[in-house]
Amino acid sequence: MERKLHIIGISGSLRKASFNRMLLRAAGELMPAEAELEILEIGDLPYYNQDVDEAGAPPVVQEFRDKVRAADALLFAVPEYNYSLTGVLKNAIDWASRPVATSALRGKPTAVMGASGGAFGTVRAQLHFRQVAVFCDMHMVNKPEIMVREPSRKFGPNGRLDDEETQQLVRQLLVSLVEWTQVLQHGRAYVSR
């Protein structure tokens, strides 16, 4: 039996009742059989400081980088703050992206989704995320796009994703991410969804 693809999930919100973390948990449950999801927390990472990095990144950063580097693929759930990524998520990306020569992000198959209270459900934050991903040389899945609007109507009080349409989209995104990862690792045929 082939080993499962190990996908690292990162939410850009530290909030206890974060809809984006709920979305990642739902992805863990909807994951195709060939893959598994490990959710990493980013709240303990210090603010990026190039002096600290060059003197030797602290263990919490090393561990974070090692886990991201070892992952077969990445799945991000991005909230939108003031039309962009959250500061904590950008900070985590900045740590993972250095040193450039051994960046943990370079070449990673990556998918993004997001939930926000606003009318456009993180579309602007996701666009900024994709812009950052270009420079970090991550290989993004293009479709489906998942912008969860009115998340309080889609997640139950227990934090589970109840909305069937969103479940279906998340399933499709995960299948695309798994196939894209296989393409990049083994050159298998890929059809965009």
DSSP assignment letter at 46: P
Nearer to ligand FMN, 13 or 181 (CB): 13
Whole-number Å distance between alpha carbons of 94 and 103: 10
Q: Which two tokens stand for residue 133?
A: 């991903």
Query: Taking Cα atoms as reference points, which of 3, 2, 9 lies closest to residue 174?
Result: 9
Q: Give the H or E element holding residue 63.
A: helix 59-70
Binding of ligand FMN at residue 58 (CB under 6 A)?
Answer: no
DSSP, collapsed to helix, strand or coil, labels residue 129 as helix
Are the C-beta atoms of residues 105 and 90 closer than 8 Å to each other?
A: no
Q: Which of residues 64-83 bind ligand FMN (CB under 6 A)?
A: 79-83
Judged by CB under 6 A, the residue of 19, 64, 76, 155 near ligand FMN is 19
Judged by CB under 6 A, the residue of 20, 110, 181, 182 near ligand FMN is 20
Nearer to ligand FMN, 82 or 102 (CB): 82
Q: Which of residues 142-171 bind ligand FMN (CB under 6 A)?
A: none
Nearer to ligand FMN, 9 or 79 (CB): 79
Q: Angle of helix 59-70 relative to helix 87-96, nearest 10 degrees? A: 80
Binding of ligand FMN at residue 13 (CB under 6 A)?
Answer: yes
Nearer to ligand FMN, 32 or 117 (CB): 117
Whole-number minimum distance, CB 40 to ligand FMN, in Å?
15
Are the C-beta atoms of residues 98 and 68 closer than 8 Å to each other?
A: no
Query: Taking Cα atoms as reference points, which of 81, 73, 84, 57 lies closest to residue 107?
Result: 73
Nearer to ligand FMN, 18 or 166 (CB): 18
Judged by CB under 6 A, the residue of 28, 32, 58, 118 near ligand FMN is 118
Binding of ligand FMN at residue 126 (CB under 6 A)?
Answer: no
Whole-number Å distance between alpha carbons of 183 and 48: 33
Binding of ligand FMN at residue 180 (CB under 6 A)?
Answer: no
Binding of ligand FMN at residue 128 (CB under 6 A)?
Answer: no
Binding site residues, ligand FMN, CB under 6 A: 13, 15, 18-20, 79-83, 116-118
